[in-house]
Amino acid sequence: MRSLPLPLALSARLSPVVVLACVGWTMAGDPAPPTDAAHQSAGQNPAGSSGASSSDSAGSPGSSGSGDASSAPATKTYASAPAPCTGVPVASVKSLVPGAKTAGKEIPSTDPSLRRTCSWNALDGYNYRWLDVSYEISASDQAATKQFQQRVGEKSGGGAVPGIGDSGYSVVNLTTEDKQQTREGVVMARVSNALVVVTYSGSDFESKKAPATDEINKGAIKAAKAAVAALQNSKSG
C-alpha cells in the first residue's frame, strides 16, 4: 500500500513529543470546530439537563453544626486514579481501534495518583482511529461536579448520556482540513469524586470522509461505560 501524507492535525497527534505536550483532560489544544448537526438527531437531551447545580461547593472550613450543605463534610470515594490502559477490554480496543497495540500507551502525568491517561491509535489500511481514556480524581464529589459542569459548558452542542456514572454527557464534532474530514466524539462522566473523559476520533484517507456520527458516538460511549466500570471496580473506599 502506498504511503499517504497525513493532514497536519493528525500528523501532530502521531508525534510523541506533540502528544505528550498537548494531550490533556479537556483536549484544550483542539480547535473549536462547528458542532456536527447530525449529532443532534441522535436523540440526546439538551446539555443543560446533565449535572448538578454549579452552586455546589466543597464545604466551608471552620463551620459546624449548621446543617447547611456548605458545612457538610467533603465526600471522597476514590483516593487515586486506576490504571487507564486496562480501562477498556482488549476486545473493545480491537473493534474500536483496528490494528492498534491493545496494551495502549500511558501518557506521563505530573501527578499519576490524580490524573492518568491511556491512548490507542492506528492506521489500518486507509482508516485511522484514535482513542483516549482519562481519569481525574477531585478532592470531593462537589469539586468533581463543578469540573464536570464546567467542561460540559466548554463543549456545548451535545447531550446527556443516561446510565453512565452519576452524570454523563457526549458531543460529536466534525472538522475538515485540506479536504480531509475527521469526526471526534467526547464522552464525559462523573462518578462520585472522579471524572472519566473518553475521546474517540476517526478518518478515512481514501475517501477523505469521516466515519458516521453514530459510529463515533456509540464507540465513545462504549469505551466510556467500560472505563467507568473499571473505575468502580477499583474503588478503594
- Each residue of 2-38: pLDDT tens digit? 444 455 445 545 443 333 333 333 333 333 343 444 3
Q: CA angle at residue 68 from 62 to 72, to 5 degrees?
A: 60
The pLDDT assigned to 146 comes to 97
Instruction: Give residue 235's pLDDT.
Output: 78
pLDDT of residue 106: 97
Q: Express each pLDDT in 82-109 by its tens digit.
A: 999 999 999 999 999 999 999 999 999 9
CA distance 21 to 210: 26
List the one residue out of 235, 230, 162 whose CA is nearest residue 196. Answer: 230
pTM above 0.75, yes or no: no
Query: What is the pLDDT, as a whole number, of residue 73?
Result: 57
How many angstroms separate the CA atoms of 182 and 163, rounded?
28
The pLDDT of residue 35: 42
Strand partners, 116: 135
What residue ranges define each of the domains in the chain, with the CATH number in brackets?
Answer: 8-30+42-51+76-233 (3.40.1000)
CB 148 within 8 A of CB 115: no
Indicate the burial class of 22 (C-beta count within 10 angstroms; 0-12, 13-18, 19 or more). middle
Provide the grid cell at 37: 448537526
Q: Which residues of the chain have pLDDT under 70?
A: 1-75, 236-237
**Whole-number pLDDT of residue 74:** 58
